[in-house]
Amino acid sequence: MEEDSHCKMSSIKNSTFTNVNKSSNFFGNINKKHSYAGKNNEQKVNKIKSNLHQDLFWPFSILIMFFKLIGLVTFVHRNVMYKKRISYTFQYSKFGIVYNVVLSSLMIALNYIISIPFRLNWHYMIQTNLTVGIAVLQTVLGTLVMCVILISYCINQKSLVRIANRLITIEHEIDRLYHLYHPLRRQRIFCIMIIVCILKICLLILLLFVEFLVLHLNPVSWLTDVLPAFHVGWILIQYFLLVTVIQADFADVNRAIQSLTRINAPDLRLQSLYQTRRIIMNNSIVYQLLQLRDVHCHLCEISEDMSSFYSLPVLFGIVFLFLSLIYNGYYFLLFLLMTDDILNYSYGILDVILWIIFLIYPISLLTNRITRILIEVE
């Protein structure tokens, strides 16, 4: 009997040990599968980010070279490797200052040698003392605005370098928090930027086509009116692009905060933390919220630096664009009220309409984007 009981106890122990081994192997396989899935998801995220950065590399470099050509970028940029990925660093440059000073001197010389005499001697389709006076004022103000913009970029180059480097740093910080939210609309936002720039260039080409082939205006007239409007429009576009990047970063931070908080509310719209009564969080969530708070503070500081940097150039640019809008609006009214046969001036009316669209386009883009970033900050 004792032997039988001893055999039963040993068999029970062996079966129990076998079940424990099976259970441990089962949970071990589950952990291995979860760790493999986590590594696989992390590799997919890193692949998405690396492909995105590689896709943005060349267009970003081309955009910087274009802004350098028109004097709206005075610093130099270097390509560096950051965690096996191509990144950028921006540095102070004396050559950019010399280039902008030469451009300003050239614009002043061309203004008094070519532009003002051309405006005074030009045969207008509808000529009055007011149209001639506004045209001369527009030419002088356009040259003044371009010189102020170019010189302000020289004086505040260090501020722009600091803004650009801090934006790159913010992008790296947001990449480290990439696991908190789904892959965002970086590619879509970049496509919007490209479309905005292409539309701006298409409007310029269409305007030059109408003025050259239809109205038979020579390139000297482009120097007096098209060039200042082109330059002011692109500084607003540049401001729009930077605001778009910051607005996307604010959206990333808000989405990350939303993913970390469980809000017991009927609507799933993003709410501020102080408006939420019940939030379930642990130590890791608190640490991640502190990281997001730091990123949010850095974005607010960058926004403040940007507003200080662009305040004077944008102010002069907006004044010039509104004066040009008044000039073209006055011409448009003259075409409608002072002519008996409007069809004879149809090309002139088309040119004025294109001018109004060309001037309003960057202003509307910038105001719309600033409204959106204010919504994200709130």
User: Do the domain assignments include residue 340?
Assistant: yes
Q: What's CA 112's distance to the chain center, in Å?
A: 36
Collapsed DSSP state (helix, strand, coil) of residue 81: strand
Written as one string, the DSSP assignment of 137-192 is HHHHHHHHHHHHHHHHHHHTHHHHHHHHHHHHHHHHHHHHTGGGS---SHHHHHHH
Instruction: Give me the percent of the chain exceeding a pLDDT of 70.
Output: 70
**Structural domain range at position 350:** 67-264+281-375
Strand partners, 90: 77
pLDDT mean across residues, the chain: 77
Token pair, residue 128, equals 């009055």
What's the rounded Cα separation, in Å, for the pair 366 and 246?
Answer: 13
353-378 pLDDT, tens per residue? Answer: 999 999 999 999 999 998 888 887 76
Written as one string, the DSSP assignment of 99-115 is HHHHHHHHHHHHIIIII
Looking at the 3D structure of the chain, how many domains does it have?
1
User: Do the domain assignments include residue 329?
Assistant: yes
122-181 pLDDT, tens per residue? Answer: 766 666 777 778 888 888 999 999 999 999 999 999 999 999 999 888 888 877 766 666
User: Do the domain assignments include residue 245?
Assistant: yes
Residue predicted with more confidence, 58 or 182: 58
User: Do the domain assignments include residue 98?
Assistant: yes
- C-alpha distances in angstroms, 164 versus 75, 90, 157, 248, 305? 10, 7, 11, 15, 11
pLDDT at 296: 87
Strand partners, 77: 90
User: Do the domain assignments include residue 49?
Assistant: no
pLDDT at 280: 52
pTM: 0.79
User: Do the domain assignments include residue 146?
Assistant: yes
User: Do the domain assignments include residue 197?
Assistant: yes
Query: Residue 268: what residue type?
Result: L
Instruction: Give me the percent of the chain exceeding a pLDDT of 90.
Output: 35
* pLDDT of 83 strictly over 50: yes
Token pair, residue 189, equals 């936002």
Please report which confidence band the pLDDT of residue 2 belongs to, taking 50, 70 and 90 as the band edges.
very low
**Poorest-pLDDT segment among 29-33, 213-217, 250-254:** 29-33
| Structural contact between residues 330 and 131, judged by C-beta atoms closer than 8 angstroms | yes
For 61, phi then psi, to 5°, come to: -65, -40
User: Do the domain assignments include residue 210?
Assistant: yes
Token pair, residue 88, equals 């950028």
